[in-house]
A and B are shown apart, each in its own frame.
Chain A
């Protein structure tokens, strides 16, 4: 298991941050901009071709996989955009766009002379596509026929799927039961195929309500409900799960 998949409910962490700023250091804005440009130029999107040399896929899933693969102590140690900087630099190195040596060498140069200017280059089509991506987005909704196995009010069991590099199932919901609050219209893909975890293909998504007293027995606050949006592959009929458990 990965701690990053099980953050919900973790105890003994001390006070929360109440920092309302989006960026706390000016450099953080730059890595955010790089990430968003990469998402916009990612090769799977049906957007106009540009002269950019970026030919691979970069989505939220890639950023999240990086965060989920960190040592859990480092996950808590480093600030949000420090993790992005590490993950994105690593991606460009491992995909052969840059080498670790040239990044280290140039880092030294900018360290010694922070005012050294950036190169000036690039075609406007690249930035036009960045804006087009922000305006149009990348909806995961697909016009395919799917079967809705559950209806509002049904009690469902949450499966405990194999633990892999990336998931959209919050760990604290595994093996719990919930009640369907909303059946979302249509079918939704995920940004990548998560393999035995089970999401990727277009499928229904449900909003499921959970009772905190079941999630955290004897240790939950009163009078609240927790809702999570869950892909259909994470849900099982309650009866089926119980029968399988008895047979095992």
Chain B
């Protein structure tokens, strides 16, 4: 029988051994160093990640004029904030924020691959890379969002943004009701990568 529809029984153990063999060979041959992979991973733990996006959105919630500037010229507005160096770095060279409103919900997708705004959101979660999500969100965003537990009323317009050229998109979700007394730092805790890509909304804790 064609093995196209079967996985190896040792699928993960085999991939783990193979990637370690590849990394070992690349170090041995001088392509990368023994610290290159950890250097990259550490960068995404500490400098590029959704913790930056949460700060940007919390600031937009607290300061409507900043929110307007963020939507009008995203890189320029982000540069106002005290964030780690590299906010216009890899996969963030040209970013654009879109804001949800009472009548509009935004959803970011990439039907061709998995373009994602690294500096502000870090690396894409599995749902974003899933070919089924990428296929269906382009035609039936409401049905897809329902599977994420988000019901978007028919009266609310959905804007789906397909990332196919230089722009890396993210969403400024609506500030949840009942959060008026929270500080920016407390607001940050309510902002998830899912809300900043539009498969969720921010909720009060």
Contacts and interface: CB of A to CB of B under 8 A. Distances in A.
Contact of A8 (B33, B89, B122, B135): B135
A225 B129 CA distance: 21
Interface residues of B, number: 90
A228 B34 contact: no
Interface size class of A (residues with CB under 8 A): 35 or more
A204 B143 CA distance: 34
Interface in B3-33: 4-5, 7, 12-33
A69 to B, nearest CB: 13
A119 B32 CA distance: 11
A62 to B, nearest CB: 12
A167 B165 CA distance: 10
B26 A97 contact: yes
A30 B194 contact: no
B71 interface: no
Interface of A: 4-5, 7-11, 13-22, 24-27, 29-34, 36-39, 41, 51-54, 60, 64, 67, 71, 73-77, 80, 82, 85, 88-89, 92, 97-98, 102-103, 106-111, 114, 118-124, 126-127, 130-131, 133-141, 167-170, 172, 184, 188, 205, 207, 212, 215-216, 219-231
29 contacts: A10-B135, A11-B135, A13-B131, A14-B132, A16-B132, A17-B130, A19-B125, A20-B127, A24-B126, A33-B39, A67-B113, A85-B15, A110-B16, A110-B24, A119-B34, A122-B32, A122-B33, A122-B34, A126-B33, A137-B90, A139-B94, A141-B166, A170-B111, A184-B94, A215-B138, A221-B158, A224-B159, A227-B161, A229-B166
Interface of B: 4-5, 7, 12-41, 43, 47-48, 85-86, 88-94, 111-114, 122-127, 129-144, 147-148, 154-167, 193-194, 199
